[in-house]
């Protein structure tokens, strides 16, 4: 019998990212919600009620809401099971829509619950932290932590759109606000020197709404360009992982302490160490490295890992998802604004670089 070979082209789905003020209150004008059988909003217990109320008011018909833990510790399969149970109880079908309203935890976890329920139903992302607005909601990565390892289980699934309402930043606690700048700065470091200079030109709190809106747009443009080239992270997309190999290890280890780091805080520490690795391997000129250390240290974010030990970080990075056959593939910097991926680095150099944040 003849074998039939069918090849299917993977086509990146195009979806809108809408950025501006008062978008939650006018969301009904942005999408055709009428075609959905039901809408469930997933939001977090710590997220101010006013955003949920505003969203529910602006939807064309009554929606349900599911309240879940909104911190990293709750980003687990147990919470996802709870969400699936509620979807089922609410009678959500393949024509239903999920709206994720919250930070990166809610967008990642809600996106994962939606992309696995009934083999995947539509979801809309409404990120409400800087970090989620510039990073977590773009690129179709959804997921949860597993056995204390960050984002170990997940799926690639595109949302129907992303609504970035700058107003939501007004209710952010200062610590959460500032850590969001880590990912913004990362975008400058890996792709655009002029942008890096702009976003590190003032303290995070000193940017006004119009500058913030511009920044959110620029960061999204940078990430979107990179992701469009490489949906499944087989090549160039790996550059967005700058700071994350060390950052994820520090973040995971900090969950076991009583002072866990926020994602952006851990990524900033990771960027300091990975800048040092880039310098020690002669990829990055010392002058650029000096500028990076100076700018990163005056943001108001932690520059030391506290009680976490260097040897534990070394062990943890070997469990990173990007480790292939025991080899860590590093994303490093060539200069401010240019990154390279798939770099192999000797453990001794990594240990030496860790001294920049392990005190």
- The sign of the dihedral angle between the CA atoms of 293, 299, 301, 302 is positive
153 — phi, psi (to 5°)?
-115, 135
How far apart, in whole angstroms, are the C-alpha atoms of residue 302 and residue 297?
A: 8
Nearer to ligand NAD, 31 or 177 (CB): 177
Token digits of residue 102: 């919250």
Q: Which residues contact 350 (CB under 8 A, 6 or more apart)?
A: 273, 277, 314, 317
Give the Cα separation of 235 and 228 in Å (integer). 12
Residues 325-344 interacting with ligand NAD (rule: CB under 6 A): none
Active site residue 224: no
Active-site choice (11, 35, 119, 348) = 119
- Residue appearing with tokens 């009678």: 91
If binding is defined by CB under 6 A, does position 209 make contact with ligand NAD?
A: no
**72 is a site residue for ligand NAD (CB under 6 A):** yes
Let me know: does 144 contact 78? Beta carbons within 8 Å. no
Select 76 or 128, whichever has its Cβ closest to ligand NAD.
Answer: 128
Per CB under 6 A, does 131 bind ligand NAD?
Answer: yes
Distance in Å, CB of 156 to ligand NAD, minimum: 10
Size of interface with ligand NAD, in residues (CB under 6 A): 31
**Residue 79 in tokens:** 């919470």
Closest contact distance (angstroms) between CB of 117 and ligand NAD is 18
User: What residues form DSSP beta bridges with 186?
Assistant: none
* Contacting ligand NAD within 167-206 (CB under 6 A): 168, 171-172, 176
Residues 83-112 that bind ligand NAD (CB under 6 A): 102-106, 108
Residue 267 sits at φ, ψ, to 5 deg, of -65, -35
Of the pair 138, 292, the CB lying nearest ligand NAD is at 138
Asked if 158 interacts with ligand NAD (CB under 6 A), we say: no
Residue 223 is a binding residue for ligand NAD (CB under 6 A): no
Pattern of binders to ligand NAD over 34-53, x per CB under 6 A? ----------x-xxx-----
Distance CA 200, CA 162 (A): 26
Tell me whether residue 244 is one of the annotated catalytic residues. yes
Q: Which is nearer to ligand NAD, 36 or 341 (CB)?
A: 341
237 catalytic? Reply is yes
Whose Cβ is closer to ligand NAD: residue 132's or residue 350's?
Answer: 132
Query: Which residue number is nearest to ligand NAD in terms of Cβ?
Result: 104
The residue annotated as part of the active site, out of 187, 237, 316, 322, is: 237
> Cβ of residue 91: shortest distance to ligand NAD, in angstroms?
28
Which CB, 103 or 204, lies closer to ligand NAD? 103
Nearer to ligand NAD, 36 or 195 (CB): 195
Active site includes 298?
A: no
Residues labelled as active-site residues: 119, 141, 183, 223, 233, 237, 241, 244, 248, 263
Binding stretches for ligand NAD (CB under 6 A): 44, 46-48, 70-72, 75, 102-106, 108, 128-129, 131-132, 135-136, 139, 141, 150-151, 168, 171-172, 176, 262-264
């Amino acid at each position: 019998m003849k074998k039939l070979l069918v090849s299917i082209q993977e086509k990146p789905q195009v979806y809108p990212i809408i950025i501006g003020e008062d978008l939650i209150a006018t969301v009904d004008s942005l999408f055709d919600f009428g075609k959905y059988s039901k809408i469930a909003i997933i939001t977090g217990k710590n997220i101010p009620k006013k955003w949920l109320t505003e969203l529910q008011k602006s939807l064309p018909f009554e929606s349900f809401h599911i309240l879940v833990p909104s911190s990293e510790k709750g980003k687990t399969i147990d919470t996802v099971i709870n969400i699936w149970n509620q979807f089922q109880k609410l009678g959500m079908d393949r024509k239903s829509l999920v709206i994720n309203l919250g930070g990166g935890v809610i967008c990642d976890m809600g996106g994962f619950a939606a992309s696995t329920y009934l083999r995947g139903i539509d979801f809309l992302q409404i990120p409400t932290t800087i970090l989620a607005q510039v990073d977590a909601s773009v690129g179709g990565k959804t997921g949860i932590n597993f056995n204390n390892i960050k984002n170990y289980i997940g799926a690639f699934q595109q949302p129907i759109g992303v609504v970035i309402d700058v107003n939501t930043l007004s209710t952010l606690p200062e610590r959460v606000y500032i850590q969001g700048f880590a990912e913004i700065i990362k975008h400058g470091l890996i792709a655009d020197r002029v942008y890096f200079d702009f976003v590190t030109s003032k303290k995070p709190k000193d940017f006004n709404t119009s500058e913030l809106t511009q920044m959110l747009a620029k960061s999204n443009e940078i990430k979107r360009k990179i992701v469009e080239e490489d949906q499944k992270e087989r090549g160039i997309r790996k550059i967005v992982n700058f700071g994350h190999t060390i950052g994820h290890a520090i973040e995971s280890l900090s969950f076991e302490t009583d002072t866990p780091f926020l994602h952006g805080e851990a990524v900033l520490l990771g960027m300091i160490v990975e800048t040092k690795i880039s310098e020690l391997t002669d990829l990055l000129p010392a002058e650029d490295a000096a500028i990076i250390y100076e700018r990163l240290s005056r943001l108001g974010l932690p520059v030391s890992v506290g009680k976490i030990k260097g040897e534990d970080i070394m062990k943890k990075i070997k469990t990173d998802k990007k480790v292939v056959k025991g080899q860590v593939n590093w994303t490093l910097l060539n200069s401010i604004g240019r990154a390279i991926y798939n770099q192999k680095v000797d453990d001794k150099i990594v240990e030496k670089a860790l001294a920049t944040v392990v005190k």
